[in-house]
Amino acid sequence: MTTLAHDSATLTRDALTVLQPGFTGTSAPDWVLRRLGEGLASVGLFGRNIATPEQLGALTAQLRAERDDVLVAIDEEGGDVTRLEVRAGSSFPGNLALGAVDDPELTRAVARELGRRLAECGVNLNWAPSADVNSNPDNPVIGVRSFGAEPGLVARHTAAYIEGLQGAGVAACTKHFPGHGDTAVDSHHALPRIDAGLDTLTARELVPFRAAVAAGTKAVMSAHILLPVLDPDLPATLSPAALHGLLRRPVADGGLGFDGMIVTDGMEMRAIADAYGIERGSVLAIAAGADAICVGGGLADEDTVLRLRDALVTAVIEGRLAEERLAEAAARVRALGEWTRRSGGPRAAHGIEPAAGVGLAAARRALRVTPAGTSYEPVTGPAYVAAFTPVANIAVGEETPWGVGAELARLRPGTGAATYGRQDADTLGVHGLIENMLDTAGARRIVAVVRDVHRHPWMADALDALLTARPETVVVEMGVPQAPPAGALHIATHGAARVCGRAAAEVIVGNGAGDHPGD
C-alpha cells in the first residue's frame, strides 16, 4: 500500500471533493461558487432551490460555469418524493404504482422521461431509485417509494429505472443499501434495526441491489440502519463490513462487486447525528468505504461544509482516516463527474423525444378499482373531498400537495375539500369529527381520501364511522393498499402524485378511455 505524504492543499481539496452539501436560495451563493474553485465537486438541490425549470437551468449553468464536471444531485424519485414539482405534485407516479402495473418497459419509459427533464435543467445525478423491498407494510418511511414487497419484482423495475434514467445522461443513485424495507422506524428520527439473518438478507434485501449493479448504476446510497448479521455495532453507512465487505467485495467472494460511487444518506438524520455527530459520522463513513457525504437537507450553510472538511483533514493528520482512502473516495467522485460531463446535461436531453403523457398513462394503468357490489353512480355534480391526513414523512415533505380535491374540482366545479388529521380526531372524537364533516358536506357526495389507512387506527375508525353514515362514499387509498377495500367505490392509486389524483378523479366522475378533459 502506497503511503502518501501529507500535503495540506491536496488533503483540503480531497476533503471538499467528497462532500455533497446543500444551500438555500434559487441561485448559488458566493460561498458555493468559491468552494467549487477550491475542490468542491458536488452540490445537492432540494425543493427550496427550485421555482421553475428555467430558473433551475440558470442555477445549474451558474454552477457549471465554475466547474464543468460538477455533480448536481437531486432527490427526484417521482411520485410522492418530488423536488422538480415540489409545490404542484409530480407528473409521474412513484415506484409502487409502477410495480403494480409491472411493465418494465413502462418503468423504463417513465424514468427516461424523468431523466430527460432533469438533464434539460442541468441536473446530472438523481438520488433514485429506491430499491428497498417493502416487506414490512407498517414501514413509515418507504411504503409507496418501493416498487413492492416481492424481491424479483423490485429487482426488475430497479434495473429498468436505472437504464431509463442513465439513458438520458443522468446518473442513478440506487438506495438505500442494504435495504430499508423491513423497518418500522424512520431513520430521519432514530436508528432502525433489521434482525434478519444472512439467508433472508441475501434472498430479499440484496436481490434488487445485485440487479442494480448488473444494470450499471453509477452510484449507490447507504442506509442508516443497523443489521447485526453484518455488523452488530455500526449502522450500514458507517460499517466497513457493509460497504467495503459486502457492497465492494467481488461477486466471486459473495459480494456485490460494485465499483462506482457510494454516497451516504443525509448525515444530519438523527440515526447518525444523535449517536455520532455529523463530523465523526462523516469520518467513519469515508473510512468504511463511502465516497461522498450527503448533507444539506437540514444543514445548508458554509459553516457545515467547513466543519466537515476540517474534520476529514484532521482525521487524516491524526491517523484516524487513511489518506489513500480519502484520495480514493475523491477520485471516484471526480470520475462520476467526468462521466456526467461527457454524457449528461441539456445536450443529452435534446437527443431524446419528449414523452409528456407517459406519467399520466402510467398512473391510469396503476389504478385498482373495486366496486362494492352494486352499480356505481358517477359523481355528476359538486362533491366534497375529505382528506384524512397523516403526518407527512420527512422524505416527502409537507409542502407537496396530494389528494384528489384539486383534480376533482377541475372536473366538477363547486367541489369542496378539507383535511382531517389525528389531532381533529383526538379533539373532537371520531363521531364529532364525522358530524362536522357531514354538516360541511351537506348533500354533496363525499370522497374520502386516505393514505396508509392500515397504519393509522384513528383514520380507520373515522373511515368506518363515515361509511356507516354515508355508505355511498367513494374511498381513494393513496398509500399502500393493505386494508380491505371499502366504500361504494374503492380506488387504490398506489401513490399520491398529482397524476395519481387526476387518474382517480377521472374514474370518480365516470370518464372513460379517451374522455379525459385537459389532455
Distance CA 304, CA 19 (A): 10
Amino acid at 409: A
Phi, psi of 433 (to 5 degrees): -60, -45
Q: Are 221 and 127 in contact (CB under 8 A)?
A: yes
* Terminal alpha carbon distance of the chain: 62
Tell me the three-class secondary structure of 51-99, residue by residue: CCHHHHHHHHHHHHHHCCCCEEEECCCECCECCCCCCCCCCCCCHHHHH
Contacts of 93 by beta carbon, 8 Å cutoff, 6+ apart: 78, 79, 110, 359, 362, 363, 366, 493, 494, 495, 497, 499, 500
Nearest CA among 446, 462, 464 for reference residue 508:
446
Determine contact, residues 504/514, Cβ cutoff 8 Å. Answer: no
Catalytic positions are 188, 265
Largest interatomic CA distance in the chain = 79
Residue closest to 88 by CA, chosen among 389, 361, 399, 387 = 399
Q: What are phi and psi of 213, to 5 degrees?
A: -65, -45
Number of Cβ within 10 Å of residue 442's Cβ equals 9
Q: How far apart are CA 283 and CA 150, in angstroms?
A: 35
Q: For 302-314, give one letter per residue: b (16+ CB within 10 A) or e.
A: eebbebbbebbbe
Helix (H, G, I), strand (E, B) or coil at 131: coil
Cα–Cα distance for residue pair 286/237, rounded to 1 Å: 9
The identity of residue 253, as a single letter, is: D
Question: Over the range 256-278, which residues count as b (16 or more CB within 10 Å of their CB) and which as e?
Answer: bebebbbbbbbbbbebbbeebeb
